[in-house]
Amino acid sequence: MTRKDNYMKIGVFDSGLGGLILLKAIVKKLPQYDYIYLGDTQRVPYGNRSQTTIYEFTREAVDFLFKKNCQLIIVACNTASAVALRRIQREYLPKYYSNRRVLGVIIPTAETAAKFSPVGVLATESTVNSGAFVRELKKLNPKVTVYQQSAPLLVPLVENNAIKWAKPILKDYLSPLLKRKVKGIILGCTHYPLLKSQIKNLAPEVKIISQDEVIPAKLADYLKRHPEMGRQLSRNGRRELYVTDLTENIQVKAKSWFGEAKLRLAKLGQR
């Protein structure tokens, strides 16, 4: 480390705008800590990428955040959590940052959803193809029945501030799950909470499991169970946001959600 332990921060990584939704919810729950966010907005979406590419993008992001003095990183991207997280934890961390941690969003979400059966998973193509939610749900509840539905058009809609046109697309994606009479639907992408109200209107009898409602409490519990890590984290209420492409949508959302007093928003390469 190049600085004292108590300067360490919490990092959050996502492929684009979706992670900001999760960061907003985490900050609301745990406002005292300092956070650094990295959004790979230039290369979003990850959902249709190869596993090798997703791993390389995730490794680059984790490396960036650790060099920014993060003690703990949340991989908010479900695709990256599903495809790359295990390899990051088993190969990258022991070699380069053995005293730090990288956590994902799949297992905490599965822990919340495992009591619902049948349960649906609405996610990107890569997340669905990885089978990560199915594996984790089956570990927690071997009797659970899981139905998955890929939704490749939803991330571009959110990234381009076009959710007002999402209803017919959502109806098409939700139809196979609702025909199976699922009792819960996992929103298996951090972009999807911005569509949550529309999804609830289309599936009013179904429990919607949204990660902006799940992950903050899970992180608070993790820090409570690991006080040695919590003691290393700085508590100045600062937020640094880095993106690989500084879009107008990101700028508007960041300033609206986090204010400007203790916010720094920059495109990578800028000082």
Q: CA 139, CA 16: separation in Å to the nearest integer? A: 30
Give the angle 111-116-122 at the CA atoms, nearest 5°.
Answer: 80
Q: Is 70 considered catalytic here?
A: no
Beta-carbon contacts of 77 under 8 Å, excluding residues fewer than 6 positions away, are 13, 14, 15, 18, 19, 46, 58, 105, 190
3 state DSSP class of 8: strand
Nearest to 210 by CA among 194, 223, 193, 227: 193
> Which one-letter amino acid corresponds to residue 73?
I
**DSSP category for residue 183:** S
**DSSP category for residue 69:** T
What tokens were used for 104? Answer: 């994902």
Beta-carbon contacts of 214 under 8 Å, excluding residues fewer than 6 positions away, are 108, 109, 112
Catalytic position from the list 170, 189, 246, 265: 189
List alpha helices for 34-105, DSSP H: 51-67, 78-83, 85-87, 93-96
Q: CA 18, CA 40: separation in Å to the nearest integer? A: 10
Catalytic position from the list 10, 20, 25, 77: 77
Q: CA 30, CA 213: separation in Å to the nearest integer? A: 13
Catalytic site residues? 77, 189
